[in-house]
Amino acid sequence: MASTLRRLSRPQSLVSQVEQILREAVKRGRFPGNRMPPATELAEQMGVSRETVRLAQEALQREGLLVKYRRKGTLLEPPALELGREARRSTVVGYLQADYPSAHGPEEVTRATSGLLLQGALKEAGRAGYELVVRQSAHTEMDRAFEKLCAGTRLAGVIFASFGEEKLVRQALGAGLPTVLLDHDLNLPRVGTVREDSVQGARMAVEHLASIGHRRVAYANWRLADLNPWRRTGYRQGLRETGLPRRRAWELAAEITESGAAQLARDLLLLRPRPTALLCFNNTLARLVIEKLRRRGVRVPEDLSVVGGGGEPVGGLTCHQADWYAMGRRAVEVLVRAIDRGPGSSPEHHLFPYKLREGRTTAAPPAE
């Protein structure tokens, strides 16, 4: 097994750095008379542009730390000086679930797992004495969902589920909210993460196929690969560790739809030499491609073994699954600890292992 490497943190933007400096100065009472110096003066002191200071001030204004008056300048709101303590006393936690609608229909790709994640989070929030305010939105509209959530609720913290757009996560951090990413990871400072160990799961699937005699194993990825780049990494590691050959042509990509699965089946059958096993991004894609292969006369598993990558329950499918319900509970536990510890606490990172469930879709490869 490869040694564990140090996590990398992405550098903060200038605006985020200025926000942090100004927020700390406000809390320490560094501005006499509850008045902030002009933006030009602050820009000169910190060696940044006036526009950078203006953007940082706007973020603090949205938090309630500042208020701007014509001809009076930028004043500090006295109640806002207690913002950190008030936020910690709040018992409301925001939960934003990103949905990924299919390009060819309304079916959400992550529906099966998102439901279990949410059930676990609701259970743990109730046990811990917190109210979970849930907002679901298409992944392209999450910024609006976050704005609406913050506009009507004083939050103690926020969980982003199946989502990791850096700009929006930094916005939550800039608002002083303890933040946890569930089912994703950005390697940002001050952000806790809870996700499944997709590298381990994919490696385990390849090892299982190799153990029953397969030498040519293909991988079918989701076209939105940025949501989970770790599965492909695990597939490649599994090939290396079992001494199996890797070919670029055996790494396919597809939409998780009927038409996407049909194209995947066509592409797979055109490969020479043809793989004897296929690892799919998730169970939904595995189910769809098995249906398309059987319509083309390909027997599963007699002619081709298929393994799913977790998600919806599919009867008889060989797949690896993580404990999504427990992950939802753990995300709330991590967030509550971050709320209790306050600013400056080190973020927690948790990986949940997969377990292999053998079904009827894998068998020894056909004789050459």
83 falls within a domain: no
Residue of higher predicted confidence among 94 and 139:
94
pTM over 0.85: no
Residue 55: both structure tokens together: 């953007």
Whether the per-residue pLDDT at 341 is higher than 60: the answer is: yes
Tell me the mean pLDDT in the region 159-174: 88
pLDDT given for residue 83 in this prediction: 41
The confidence band for 4, taking pLDDT boundaries of 50, 70 and 90, is low
Residue 364: both structure tokens together: 């020894």
84 falls within a domain: no
The tally of domains found in the chain comes to 3
Residues 6 or more apart whose CB falls under 8 angstroms from that of 367 comprise none
Tell me the mean pLDDT in the region 161-167: 86
Is 182 found in the same domain as 133?
Answer: yes
Contact yes or no for 248/218 (Cβ under 8 A) = no
Residues 27, 28, 29, 31: is their CA dihedral positive or negative? negative
Whether the per-residue pLDDT at 77 is higher than 70: the answer is: no
Angstrom distance (rounded) from CA 60 to CA 20? 9
132 falls within a domain: yes
Whether the per-residue pLDDT at 312 is higher than 80: the answer is: yes
Angstrom distance (rounded) from CA 234 to CA 72? 59
pLDDT given for residue 53 in this prediction: 86
Whether the per-residue pLDDT at 247 is higher than 60: the answer is: yes
Tell me the mean pLDDT in the region 43-48: 86
CATH number assigned to the domain comprising residue 69 = 1.10.10.10
Is 110 found in the same domain as 51?
Answer: no
119 falls within a domain: yes
The dihedral formed by the CA atoms of 231, 161, 63 and 38, expressed in degrees to the nearest 10: 20
Is 328 found in the same domain as 188?
Answer: yes
Residues 6 or more apart whose CB falls under 8 angstroms from that of 313 comprise 112, 283
Is 317 found in the same domain as 210?
Answer: yes
Least confident of 54-63, 131-140, 256-265: 54-63
Q: Report pLDDT digits (tens) over 28-39.
A: 667 776 678 888
Angstrom distance (rounded) from CA 251 to CA 231? 12
Tell me the mean pLDDT in the region 105-119: 73
Q: What is the mean pLDDT of the chain?
A: 86
Whether the per-residue pLDDT at 283 is higher than 90: the answer is: yes
8 falls within a domain: no
CATH number assigned to the domain comprising residue 150 = 3.40.50.2300
Percent of the chain at pLDDT exceeding 70: 84
Is 312 found in the same domain as 264?
Answer: yes
214 falls within a domain: yes
- Residue 70 has a CB neighbour count (10 Å cut-off) of 5
Residues 6 or more apart whose CB falls under 8 angstroms from that of 44 comprise none
Q: Degrees (nearest 5) of the Cα angle 70, 72, 78?
A: 110
368 falls within a domain: no
Is 329 found in the same domain as 314?
Answer: no
Contact yes or no for 218/280 (Cβ under 8 A) = no
Angstrom distance (rounded) from CA 102 to CA 85? 43
Range of the domain at 56: 18-77
Residues in the chain: 368
Is 205 found in the same domain as 167?
Answer: no
Is 172 found in the same domain as 68?
Answer: no
The confidence band for 278, taking pLDDT boundaries of 50, 70 and 90, is very high
Is 131 found in the same domain as 69?
Answer: no
Percent of the chain at pLDDT exceeding 90: 53
Angle at which helix 39-46 crosses helix 50-63, to 10 degrees, equals 110
Is 32 found in the same domain as 58?
Answer: yes
| Side chain identity at residue 268, one-letter code | L
Is 245 found in the same domain as 192?
Answer: no
Whether the per-residue pLDDT at 5 is higher than 70: the answer is: no
Is 300 found in the same domain as 248?
Answer: yes
361 falls within a domain: no
